[in-house]
């Protein structure tokens, strides 16, 4: 059920059930251990990279990064150099940053603005919509068909003001892929939210180690004793699992009337409904996008593999009525507080990686609170192909009856 279809009474009743239960619900299945090899085995991680990361919808940036026709930025987070551009018709497009002559890059900076692209190696020229328009010494080529030499495009679709890419040309359309989540996210008016800030953190661990931490609140009494645990009631948390690996986690505040003091005086998103406005809701777009939304600004987290044993966390903020020229001190304080919480999650990651590589790590016995992690792994196996996952690494598919499909 969507949050805006929930009554406040239903939400409170569900949270009270979660607080008072003495065991998982009777309908909840036992979760087999997640095999440890899924975090360290090179052959399995190569399958993950090819079959999942190379075919997933991945957040690339915000439309504020493309303010004008001809604006562009370069992203490498997907593992490929991809050029995202606003063409002369105002449409957002994406292409591999790869000249169709001998593969040289079209741009070498991280961002810029131009009326087209010229390869710096041999001067081949392209329009903003990827068409080849000019070739130096054209007379020396035999039967060169310009129409067959356009830049190779990458699937590019918008979720409000958020730009998503997919290197799979046959991928399901983004909004269809998001399913029930797409309808719920309409209340946040993402198309109206401005870019506030973005920064990244390189961490010495497999990407799943950190991603797992943002799919549960089981850890907050240990890691966040002086921050998040002071105002969130993790025992009242409830989860919704959606198709395609997506999910939502709703965690109540310890006091119903509690408000984050760091948001006082900030503009609100007026269309947000009562439940997410007064509780902590976090959305997960599979595989690596986490959005703990609020009514006065939304952090966007992405977790990117940079190798089998390293990753990059990108933390961005979007908000209503944000003026980048105002030098807002409220935002400076809010982002500093958020970064403190983020560092609490990052602090043990390299040591966890070291432990996972030891003979002491065999697998993960997940509990009911951690079911979003198991849901993530089930989806990974489906994307790889259930019969393609090595038996010693395979996850049993047990959560199908727990998934909300409409």
Residue spans of the domains in the chain: they are: 3-56+192-402, 58-158
pLDDT at position 251: 92
What gap in Å lies between CA 270 and CA 255, rounded to an integer? 23
Residues of the chain with pLDDT > 70, as a percent, come to 98
Q: Answer whether residue 229 shows pLDDT above 80.
A: no
Q: How far apart are CA 197 and CA 90, in angstroms?
A: 24
Question: Using an 8 Å Cβ cutoff, are 279 and 272 in contact?
Answer: no
- The distance from CA 333 to its chain's CA centroid, rounded to whole angstroms, is 24
Is residue 158 pLDDT above 80, yes or no?
yes
CATH topology of domain 3-56+192-402: Naphthalene 1,2-dioxygenase Alpha Subunit; Chain A, domain 1 (3.90.380)
**pTM score, whole prediction:** 0.95
pLDDT at 1 over 50: no
pLDDT digits (tens, 9 = 90+) for 173-222: 999 999 999 999 999 999 999 999 999 999 999 999 999 999 999 888 88
Per-residue pLDDT at 278: 86
Question: Is 344 within 8 Å of 224 (Cβ atoms)?
Answer: yes
Could you give the percent of the chain with pLDDT greater than 90?
82
Q: Is the pLDDT of residue 4 over 60?
A: no
Of 376, 345, 38, the C-alpha closest to 239 is 376
- Does the pLDDT value for residue 275 go beyond 80? yes
Residue 300 pLDDT grade (very low, low, confident, very high; cuts 50, 70, 90): very high
For residue 148, name the pLDDT band (cuts at 50, 70, 90): very high
Mean pLDDT of the chain: 93
Spacing of C-alpha 56 from chain mean position: 10
Q: What distance in Å separates the CA atoms of residue 327 and residue 344, rounded to the nearest whole number?
A: 27
User: What is the assigned CATH class of domain 58-158?
Assistant: mainly beta
Task: For residues 240-268, give the mean pLDDT.
Answer: 87
205-217: pLDDT as tens digits: 999 999 999 999 9
What confidence score (pLDDT) does residue 149 get?
Answer: 96
Taking 60 as the threshold, does the pLDDT of residue 5 lie above it? Answer: no
Token code pair at residue 304: 């990117």
pLDDT digits (tens, 9 = 90+) for 69-103: 999 999 999 889 999 999 999 999 999 999 999 99
pLDDT of residue 225: 82
CA distances from 184 to 93, 231, 247, 389 (A): 26, 25, 12, 33
């Amino acid at each position: 059920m969507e949050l805006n279809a929930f009554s406040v009474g239903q939400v409170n009743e569900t949270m009270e059930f979660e607080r008072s239960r003495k065991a998982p619900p009777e309908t909840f299945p036992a979760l087999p251990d997640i095999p440890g090899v899924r975090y360290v085995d090179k052959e399995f991680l190569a399958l993950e990279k090819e079959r999942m990361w190379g075919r997933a919808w991945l957040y690339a940036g915000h439309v504020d990064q493309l303010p004008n026709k001809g604006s562009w930025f370069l992203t490498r987070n997907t593992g490929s150099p991809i050029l995202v551009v606003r063409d002369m018709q105002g449409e957002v497009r994406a292409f591999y940053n790869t000249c169709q002559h001998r593969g040289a890059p079209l741009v070498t900076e991280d961002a810029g603005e131009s009326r087209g692209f010229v390869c710096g190696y041999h001067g081949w020229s392209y329009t903003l919509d990827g068409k080849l328009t000019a070739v130096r010494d054209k007379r020396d080529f035999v039967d060169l068909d310009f129409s067959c030499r356009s830049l190779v495009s990458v699937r590019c679709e918008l979720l409000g003001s958020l730009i998503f890419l997919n290197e799979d040309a046959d991928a399901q359309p983004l909004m269809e892929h998001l399913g029930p989540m797409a309808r719920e996210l309409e209340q946040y008016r993402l198309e109206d939210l401005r870019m506030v800030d973005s920064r990244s953190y390189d961490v010495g661990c497999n990407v799943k180690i950190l991603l797992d931490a943002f799919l549960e609140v089981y850890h907050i009494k240990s890691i966040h004793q002086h921050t998040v645990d002071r105002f969130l009631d993790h025992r009242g948390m409830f989860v919704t699992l959606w198709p395609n690996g997506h999910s939502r986690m709703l965690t109540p505040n310890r006091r119903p009337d509690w408000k984050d003091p760091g948001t006082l005086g900030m503009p609100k998103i007026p269309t947000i409904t009562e439940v997410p406005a007064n509780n902590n809701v976090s959305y997960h777009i599979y595989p690596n996008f986490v959005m703990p939304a609020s009514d006065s600004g939304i952090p966007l987290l992405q977790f990117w593999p940079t190798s089998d044993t390293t990753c990059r966390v990108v933390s961005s903020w979007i908000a209503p009525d944000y003026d980048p020229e105002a030098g807002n001190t409220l935002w400076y304080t809010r982002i500093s507080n958020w970064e403190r919480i983020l560092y609490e999650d990052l602090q043990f990651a390299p040591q966890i990686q070291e432990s996972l590589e030891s003979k002491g790590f065999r697998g993960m016995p997940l509990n009911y609170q951690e079911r979003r992690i198991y849901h993530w792994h089930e989806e990974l196996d489906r994307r790889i192909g259930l019969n393609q996952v090595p038996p010693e690494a395979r996850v049993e598919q047990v959560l199908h009856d727990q998934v909300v499909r409409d």
